[in-house]
Copies of this chain bind each other. A is one copy, B any other.
Amino acid sequence: MPVTNRIADFHEDMIAWRRDLHAHPEIAFEEKRTSDFVAAKLTEFGIEVHRGLGRTGVVGTLRNGDGPAIGLRADMDALPMTETNDIPHRSTVPGKMHACGHDGHTAMLLGAARYLAETKRFKGTVRFIFQPAEEGKGGGREMVKDGLFEKLPVDTVYGMHNWPGMKVGAFAVKPGPMMGASDDFDLLITGRGGHGAMPHLCIDPVAVGAEIVGAFQKIVSRTTHPVDSVVISVTNFHAGEAYGVIPEAALLRGTVRTFRTEVQDATEAAIRRIADGISAAHGATAEFTYVRRYPATVNHEAEAAIAAGVASTVVGEDNVDRNPTPTMGAEDFSFMLLRRPGCYVWAGCGEKTPNLHSASYDFNDDLLPIGASYWAQLAETVLK
């Protein structure tokens, strides 16, 4: 029987928690109320609480005799957006909202914690890892840096994200890359500004920047193995103010997404080489900075098999996609997977749910008992 009965019993409680969190969103590293809430619940369940890793991170530790230690991770932060939903539990904070469902992630893991603390049908240690700042600020990286795995050791670590476009009661998981590495770059093309009617006295950074944008496409189409994945999106192009003035410089910014470090390295090098070569071709100069934000989220073979097996138990094999198409979106759970074997899964939150990061998104409460059951049975399976 898929969803754990006892967890189904407190579906209403999880809904209440989730909506309370939804109404009080807090963004990266500001999760004060949220972490207090989580810590209070864990304490209430009789779980030992450790705070302060990654500033606002909370980790609960539940031991039951000897055995390995498993880490279950949920993220807690909201986004700097204004909610457009007209619902009773809508955000009470203008400019902040839970548009990525981390409220639900937190509630599901709390539900599993309550169940596991009550039932203790496992041998070993469960770590409930509530991390801050998944959205762009690398809260996962910060917890790892602060010594998460040294201070609170685990043998394996697992993550989960709700996934629009998949029905509630579906899971997707595979070994290897599930989500991409995410890098940012800034490219400042400096030419020589001047009168718009006198291009011969100028070096036009708009024309040079535009040529560079075109040339970047060839990194994807000509330089990278066709079977490898890479995305280079020049998402920002800013140059010029007055109609009649050729600007001094053009600022290009963008994101690079890859699954493999070799491709990431080659792409960074190619961007630099192209920016330099084309700038030189036209007498301009290129200033380039490249920041590696999140590594790829790469599931480990054995743990992916375990996760898929547990998902299959919870929702039935027909509802588990064992070969989903990866996405090049990024996830900072990747920092944990770089240190410990583990696996990250997607749990369907409805085929018609608005997209993540949409102003009309709201976590689907039907997923709460399913996700919590997955967490509980995963712990019981790994620590049996």
Contact = CB atoms under 8 A, between A and B. Distances in A.
Interface string A323-338: 0011111100000000
Contacts of A204: 218, 222, 233
A65 interface: no
A226 B328 contact: yes
A227 B243 CA distance: 21
Contacts of A382: none
A257 interface: yes
A250 B206 CA distance: 13
Contacts of A325: 225, 227
A197 B233 contact: yes
A282 to B, nearest CB: 7
Contacts of A238: 237-240
Report which residue of A216, A222, A227 has the largest number of chain B beta carbons within 10 angstroms of its beta carbon: A222
B276 A197 contact: no
A234 interface: yes
B237 A225 contact: no
A48 interface: no
Contacts of A221: 199, 216-217, 219-221, 231-232
B210 A223 contact: no
Contacts of A279: 277
A246 interface: yes
Contacts of A357: 195
A182 B244 contact: yes
A3 interface: no
5 contacts: A198-B226, A202-B222, A211-B211, A221-B221, A235-B239
Q: Which 7 A-B pairs have the closest CB atoms?
A: A277-B281, A236-B240, A220-B221, A210-B213, A210-B210, A197-B328, A217-B217
